[in-house]
């Protein structure tokens, strides 16, 4: 069983397609926010096409979304998927994953909330910087950004067979793995 994680697609059509192709065997995909709009602090992505990305994503029924700071009501209307939820708990393969974009609270607060919810993993986005580490008994994952990385390379992540993997889209290779 495979669970995918993408974040901060920011309207990057081809980048998002590339990440989704890497997750074709995932039973479910979690989008950790900032789906269509590039935001006022980011340059326009080279393959920025939020209209086409919305058309692609609205056909997908295997994606769960959390709202990011760049997501708006109009994004929800064109996607025809719920973007109103700021956090979500996913149960998958016997594990609980706490999903939150991560711009309204600190990492320590996210870890505390994940523990309170009985989750083993907290997944956030927002920073566009990949993270995969264990802190205070909780796995902390940020899959980075598929479109506008702030750490040098586009990426996504997935859970499979008891471990989480970070994958580098630019180099087409596994960056890091951690067991749950």
* Mean pLDDT for all residues in the chain: 96
Mean pLDDT of 161-171: 97
pTM (2 decimals)?
0.96
pLDDT one-digit tens code per residue, 98-147? 999 999 999 999 999 999 999 999 999 999 999 999 999 999 999 999 99
Asked whether the predicted pLDDT for residue 40 surpasses 90, the reply is no
Take residue 4 and report the two structure tokens written for it: 């995918």
Q: Residue ranges per domain, the chain?
A: 2-179
137 burial via Cβ count (<10 Å: 0-12, 13-18, 19+):
exposed
Residue pair 119/96 in contact by the 8 Å Cβ criterion? yes
Break the chain down into helix, strand, coil percent, rounded to 5.
20, 30, 50
What would the pLDDT profile of 53-100 be if each residue is shown by its tens digit?
999 999 999 999 999 999 999 999 999 999 999 999 999 999 999 999
CATH fold, domain 2-179, is Purple Acid Phosphatase; chain A, domain 2 (3.60.21)
The confidence score (pLDDT) of residue 61 equals 95
């Amino acid at each position: 069983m495979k669970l995918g994680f993408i974040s901060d697609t920011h309207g990057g059509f081809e980048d998002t397609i590339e990440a989704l192709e890497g997750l074709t065997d995932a039973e479910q995909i979690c989008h950790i926010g900032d789906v269509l709009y590039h935001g006022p602090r980011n340059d326009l992505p080279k393959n920025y096409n939020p209209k086409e990305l919305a058309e692609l994503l609205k056909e997908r029924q295997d994606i769960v979304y959390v709202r990011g700071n760049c997501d708006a009501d109009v994004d929800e209307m064109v996607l025809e998927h719920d973007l109103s939820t700021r956090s979500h708990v996913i149960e998958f393969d016997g594990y609980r994953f706490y999903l939150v974009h991560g711009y309204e609270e600190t990492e320590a607060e996210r870890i505390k909330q994940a523990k309170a919810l009985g989750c083993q993993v907290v997944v956030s986005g927002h920073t566009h910087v990949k993270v995969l580490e264990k802190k205070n008994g909780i796995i902390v994952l940020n899959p980075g950004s598929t479109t506008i990385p702030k750490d040098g390379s586009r990426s996504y992540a997935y859970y499979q067979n008891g471990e989480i993997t970070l994958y580098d889209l630019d180099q087409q290779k596994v960056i890091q793995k951690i067991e749950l």
